[in-house]
């Protein structure tokens, strides 16, 4: 058995494990909603008065802009981690998935990392 066989998954393939499509819908639906709330004074007023109270629009804008570096870092981290645990062919896909969907994609790679670490302890 190769050194990184467990990181390759049950089928022994260097491929991306896709996050469930609902995660893409939830994450991007939330980001789009956050953007509309942060950028539209009318929608912010409507949402705050009828759905739930919110922090100020400036705070909502900071949260919106914070999503970008957080997701950039997460994508970079997953790309590097995939290379480190022996998934060079799918590393770029792992990075892009983490950028687009965040933690649900990262969680799948961390599961692969645990399997890889267990294989390393066994050798």
Query: Residue 41 is part of which domain span?
Result: 21-122
In a domain, 100, yes or no: yes
Q: What proportion of the chain, given as a percentage, has pLDDT over 70?
A: 89
In a domain, 7, yes or no: no
In a domain, 56, yes or no: yes
In a domain, 9, yes or no: no
In a domain, 16, yes or no: no
Q: What is the DSSP string of 21-74?
A: HHHHHHHHHHHHHHHHHHH-HHHHHHHHHHT-----HHHHHHHHHHHHHHHHHH
In a domain, 116, yes or no: yes
In a domain, 10, yes or no: no
In the chain, the number of structural domains is: 1
Residues 48-102 have pLDDT tens digits of: 999 999 999 999 999 999 999 999 999 999 999 999 999 999 999 999 999 999 9
């Amino acid at each position: 058995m190769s050194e990184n066989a467990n990181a390759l998954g049950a089928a022994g393939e260097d491929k991306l494990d896709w996050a469930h499509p609902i995660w893409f819908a939830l994450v991007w639906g939330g980001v789009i909603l956050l953007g509309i709330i942060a950028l539209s004074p009318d929608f912010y007023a409507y949402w705050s008065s009828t759905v739930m109270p919110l922090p100020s629009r400036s705070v909502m804008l900071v949260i919106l802009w914070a999503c970008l570096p957080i997701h950039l870092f997460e994508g970079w981290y997953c790309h590097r981690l995939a290379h480190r645990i022996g998934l060079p062919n799918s590393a770029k896909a792992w990075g892009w998935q983490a950028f687009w969907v965040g933690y649900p994609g990262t969680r799948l790679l961390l599961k692969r990392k645990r399997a890889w670490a267990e294989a390393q302890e066994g050798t």
